[in-house]
Structure 1
Amino acid sequence: MSFNILNHPLCGWFFYFYLMKKEALIFGIYPVIEAIRANQFIDKIYVQKGLNNPKVDSIISDLEKTDTTISTVPFEKMDKLCRSNHQGIIAITSPVSFHSMESVVENVLNSDKSPLFIVLDQISDVRNFGAILRTAECTGVDAVIIQKKGGAPVSGDTVKTSAGAIYNVPICKVDHIKDAIYYLQGSGIKTVAATEKTNNSLYNIDFKVPTAIIMGSEGTGVSKSVLNIVDEKGALPLLGKINSLNVSVASGAFLYEIVRQRLQ
């Protein structure tokens, strides 16, 4: 996507949008400021490490009050993302807005259905993220909870892989997964971690009660600190020689076991 910058009122500042791997990137101090003023949903901000600029500091201060993820990275990372004059700041826009976990949980608890949430502990691949969202929508998940830092961005690739399901499932960003789990538990929702580090089959778990499933990252699974605080752990039976499943496939298996139990 392109346009003639000479016709733009901000000519003199390097300002334009372009798609890179289907993520909408905005770069440059004033373009980012204008995007925020225009109420663009900013999913992530990259700031050049060591940058000393009051305007950038002001942007960060404003976005720290939102669900935007802010990452400080070296110049080489910035240059890889954008080879133009980014002025030390790059924003990635989100195709959706984010929801307050507390509000979503409260609304679901006040409804007639048994709550179902899925918590993603550092899922980093956007295609896995999108596939999980698609299955979540098909299985009636009330919300997907992710951590602000360390996870996959909500990008164009996420939208495409989710087949548009991303627009139908609320996404909640939290500062820390552990705090989210404590909140869910305090709200009467059972937390179940999907992990191979247990002998307990998921088929032995009662999913008819309000439930939140925790799925771990592609490389290391659910983090140890999270495993230590969940209510139950469940494993999928693996009958072949490979000892793990793709996280989106595993999510589907867990979610459809919940559907099976709740339909009985």
Structure 2
Amino acid sequence: MENRRNPRINRFNKSNRSDESDRDSRSDAPSDRGASDREYRSEETRSDGLSDREPSDRTSSGRKSYTRSGGGRPGGPRPQFKPAPEEMVFGIQSVIETLKSDQQIDKLYMEKGLSNPDIQNLAFQNRVTIQRVPIEKLDRMTRKNHQGVICLVSPIHYVKLSNVIADVHERGETPFLLLLDRITDVRNFGAIARTAECSGVQCIVIPGRGAAAINSDAMKTSSGALNHISVCREYDLADTIKYLQDSGIRVIACTEKTYRDLYATDMTGPLAVIMGSEEDGISPELLRMVDTHVRIPLLGEVGSLNVSVATGVVLYEAVRQRSTGR
């Protein structure tokens, strides 16, 4: 029934009838939600409201970019994209198909004593380390039938270190890199990533084994910094140090096992800083390989700093020297 005095009411009533008709027609349409709710996949709900779709690997100019997880530094464009959420995949066949795809695996857990040549061969080809764990750990991760194997798909895409260095030279910048040896605390890693991005570090290098999982907690703690900095995962940090030295990049280790003062050390020029684990610092093998050891002076009674705080001290001393020429 139309209201001649108020035409707005007529439009409102017509809109309501149209919406009801749309809902009725949609309720009869077949749903395809089941295709995305397969029992072997368990996705975390995003707290930031971002899309769950896989980000594009092309830049605004249409050219393919290797730095889907970051790499935009001063002098180069910052990538703008929405990172994919961390995703858990479980079940033998599901994990095999994930390893065959172009998705990058952050962690791969397999029950102790379980043998599966297909998974083991694919993991070796993709340079993914299999972590053998008790079945109780897998049961805590999911109540579904995991068949003894679970993998976590990374929310970022790792880049090649050689590509990062080539890109840095192409932009005319001085290499400034950060290596993390067995930093396992997720929040420490996120805080370090935030400091590294703010201080102009062009890439964070982590080992393939014994590193913190880059998950939603790490993304949150980094305050979005992991969207703007490249992350490289190397199988062996010893080989990485040798490669950097061969490329003309000096590697400096921050450790309490030296008397060389941080503030008396030249940190200008091509530089890579390596920081060690929260428990026992940098591994002895890596300490023997680096070019220089430095120590942060501690004036109080406590004998060490939190690793994220120590990283900030070292990186910003390098920033100070580079900006003032020492």
Please say whether Structure 1 and Structure 2 have the same fold, judged by a TM-score greater than 0.5. yes
Instruction: Name the structure 2 match of 1:3.
Output: none
Deviating more after overlay: 103-112 vs 181-190:
103-112
Q: Tell whether the 8 Å contact from 2:252 to 2:273 is kept in structure 1 after alignment.
A: yes
Which letter maps to 2:42? F
Aligned partner of residue 44 in structure 2, secondary structure: strand
CA distance in 1, matches of 2:34, 2:322: 56
Match for residue 30 of structure 1 among 93, 108, 114 = 93
| 1:19 is aligned to 2:44 | yes
CA distance in 1, matches of 2:42, 2:317: 43
Deviating more after overlay: 73-82 vs 154-163:
73-82
Q: After superposition, what is the alpha-carbon deviation per residue over 1:168-192, rounded to whole angstroms, capped at 9, x for unaligned? A: 1111111111111111111110100
CA distance in 2, matches of 1:232, 1:180: 16
Instruction: Name the structure 1 match of 2:278.
Output: 218
| 1:97 is aligned to 2:157 | yes
Q: Tell whether the 8 Å contact from 2:99 to 2:126 is kept in structure 1 after alignment.
A: no
Match for residue 65 of structure 1 among 106, 111, 125 = 125
Match for residue 48 of structure 1 among 95, 98, 111 = 111
Q: Tell whether the 8 Å contact from 2:268 to 2:321 is kept in structure 1 after alignment.
A: yes
CA distance in 1, matches of 2:113, 2:278: 31
CA distance in 2, matches of 1:244, 1:144: 23
Report deviation, 1:38. 5.7
| 1:115 is aligned to 2:175 | yes
The correspondence of residues 1-264 of structure 1 with structure 2, limited to 5 A, is: 8-9=34-35, 14-19=39-44, 24-36=87-99, 39-53=102-116, 57-264=117-324
Report deviation, 1:193. 0.3
Which letter maps to 2:147? Q
CA distance in 2, matches of 1:60, 1:135: 36
Which letter maps to 2:106? D
Report deviation, 1:208. 1.2
CA distance in 2, matches of 1:63, 1:122: 21
CA distance in 2, matches of 1:71, 1:165: 28
CA distance in 1, matches of 2:248, 2:115: 46
Q: Tell whether the 8 Å contact from 2:86 to 2:155 is kept in structure 1 after alignment.
A: no
Provide the alpha-carbon RMSD of the alignment: 2.3
Identity, % of aligned pairs? 43
Q: After superposition, what is the alpha-carbon deviation per residue over 1:225-258, rounded to whole angstroms, capped at 9, x for unaligned? A: 1111110011111111101000000000011111
Which letter maps to 1:148? G
CA distance in 2, matches of 1:39, 1:68: 13
Q: Tell whether the 8 Å contact from 1:215 to 1:221 is kept in structure 2 after alignment.
A: yes
CA distance in 2, matches of 1:191, 1:60: 34
Q: After superposition, what is the alpha-carbon deviation per residue over 1:32-83, rounded to whole angstroms, capped at 9, x for unaligned? A: 3454466433211111122134xxx323322322253321222222223223
Higher strand proportion: 1
Which letter maps to 1:156? S
Which letter maps to 1:42? I
Runs of 5+ unmatched residues, structure 1: 1-5
- Pair member with larger Rg: 2
Which letter maps to 2:195? T
Aligned partner of residue 105 in structure 1, secondary structure: helix
Q: Tell whether the 8 Å contact from 1:43 to 1:69 is kept in structure 2 after alignment.
A: no
